[in-house]
Structure 1
Amino acid sequence: MREKAASLLNVKLEEGTVASLIDLKGTIKGVQYKTKNGQEFIACAPLTIVCDGCFSNLRRSLCNPKVDIPSCFVALILENCELPYPNHGHVVLADPSPILFYRISSSEIRCL
């Protein structure tokens, strides 16, 4: 996605770690971020998309009501295994929760 976006004429790709969102009267106008070498910058845009996962510190500040994370997934990668039905995901109904198995490469299966 980054490569595709960067290929557009009206897009400038900047990489860094976001420290905070720039909020102006309840509207996100951009981000304050730090590059790998430690320089701090501010980037503003008409559209800011936050997509850094469920444990994001930024996401928590954007949600109303506040988000509670009551559970989490634990993953295991199984190597050189086969599932009963090729090209299908598998759900095992277990106690206390379901277990998912699905192929992620030609030699690996993820177990969640």
Structure 2
Amino acid sequence: MIARIWRGITPAEKADAYLDYLRETGLRAYASVAGCRGVKVLKRIQGEHSEIMLVSLWDSMDAVREFAGENPDHSVYYPEDDQYLLEMEPLVRHYEVVEGLLSKDVPGFEIP
């Protein structure tokens, strides 16, 4: 399994609007690929800026390529991203998932 991690920075006041836009673009595109096993969307407000991080899980790099194209290390952007993002990071990170933990494995531990 592969974890793909992408990060974007928006002005804090545009963070929620950008998340709405992501649901219609990137997250919808993730869901259209059979090899995508899910995504967690993280948001962190830091003063005037908001960091948005997408951590998606994929069956394989071939599945990632189905989403991202022949250069899977390159970020995928959509037409209106530049209205929200302060910069367009060119690359994403990919990691091999070597271990996981489910809440059922640890009594009293719940994952939202």
TM norm. shorter chain > 0.5: no
TM-score class, shorter-chain normalisation, is under 0.3
Give the TM-score normalised by the residue count of structure 1.
Answer: 0.24
Give the TM-score normalised by the residue count of structure 2.
Answer: 0.24
Higher helix share: 2
